[in-house]
Amino acid sequence: MMRLAVLDQSTVVTGRTPADSIRETLSLAQHCEALGYARYWLAEHHNSEAVAGAAPEVLLGALAATTTTIRIGSAGIMLPHYSALKVAEQFRVLEAIAPGRIDMGLGRAPGSDGLTAHALNPNAAVAADHFPAQVRDLLAWVSGAKLVEKHPFGSVIAQPTGPGVPEAWILGSSDYGAQVAAHFGLPYCFAHFITDGQGCAEAIALYREAFRPSERWQHPYASVCVWALAAASEAEADYHYSARALWRLSRDRGTFVAMPSPAEAAAHAWTEAELARADRTRSRAIVGTGAQVVSRLRALADEVGADEVAILSTAHDPAARRASYAHIAAAAGLAADRVALAAE
């Protein structure tokens, strides 16, 4: 059985507020837990009209209190914005709330534009150059281990202490993150949905080749995060996908806007160039029935050498998004006894 996870960005859509998107994340996490997904991850983006998920560490506290079995985590915390100690404290608190269920996914990218990154941390550009050292310190603080010898903050402890340790991951969309994950002996997730797969197989291969066993991970463990959408029929899936096709036109021009509805996509005055671009994007997209999507996901995992697949599924209609995850879960055998959920 393929191990499946979920990535949620708390996507903003037209006609509803960003606050609605946050509340929909809470509901969707419970839905995906019932469907049998292995983990539920939250993204971090700032100053975006397209994504409401700006503080995954806060939203994770709510997920920890409203779910019981699914692993929950960040994908990721953009570490150069923050103090490693503060992040360790946040995840120590989360581990105390939901012992054994917390994933601490870490990234180096700004998750925003340059001005916003500077507003979050005026030294963010310098901090990004010290990402490996930040990861080293964070791993020590969050696990209760000693910092490196003669560290100026060696006497500082991240509270609350306890027996559990969050599961750390490195996230990335290039070779850099793969090398950091391999160096520290951590699991690695490649953001396939950002690059449309470009560089994915190479990064995971590099990660596996360079992996150095750690106390917790004796062998490499790789995940790939993809965008996918499933529905009861191909026609229905294409209908909901049309909204993303229009949204992608804006994204590819460097503008991040709220996701339009399929009706707005149908009313758009598409130019020939836009239609051609949308056709190329659609040819690469993982869209269809649950069986078709799962077949593509399995083929992709085999192709790039991934042990797990995380799915980002966005739709203007929250019911369509819930159904998408249900169709995929049923086709993958995660929830054979809950197929009726696909109709909700």
What pLDDT was estimated at residue 335? 66
What pLDDT was estimated at residue 95? 98
> 261 in a domain, yes or no?
no
CATH code assigned at 174: 3.20.20.30
Render each residue's pLDDT in the chain as its tens digit; 344 residues: 789 999 999 999 999 999 999 999 999 999 999 999 999 999 999 999 999 999 999 999 999 999 999 999 999 899 999 999 999 999 999 999 999 999 999 999 887 888 999 999 999 888 899 999 999 999 999 999 999 999 999 999 999 999 999 999 999 999 999 999 999 999 999 999 999 999 999 999 999 999 999 999 999 999 999 999 999 999 999 999 999 999 999 988 888 899 999 999 999 999 999 999 999 999 999 999 999 999 999 999 999 999 999 999 999 999 999 999 999 999 999 964 454 444 44
> 206 in a domain, yes or no?
yes
> 319 in a domain, yes or no?
yes
Could you list the residue range(s) of the whole structural domain that residue 299 is in?
Answer: 3-231+289-343
What pLDDT was estimated at residue 254? 85
Looking at residue 297, what DSSP letter applies?
H
**CA–CA distance, 255 with 223 (Å, rounded to integer):** 28
> 190 in a domain, yes or no?
yes
**CA–CA distance, 30 with 26 (Å, rounded to integer):** 7
Sign of CA dihedral 197, 202, 205, 206: negative
> 111 in a domain, yes or no?
yes
User: Any long-range contacts for 112-117 (C-beta under 8 Å, 24+ apart)?
Assistant: 112/45, 112/46, 112/47, 112/48, 113/47, 115/47, 116/46, 116/47, 117/46, 117/80, 117/81
Q: What angle do CA 190, 247, 320 make, to 5 degrees?
A: 80
CB atoms within 10 A of CB 148: 10
> 252 in a domain, yes or no?
no
What pLDDT was estimated at residue 341? 44
What pLDDT was estimated at residue 255? 86
> 83 in a domain, yes or no?
yes
Domain count, the chain: 1
What pLDDT was estimated at residue 339? 45
Cis peptide before 132 (omega within 30 of 0): no
> 267 in a domain, yes or no?
no
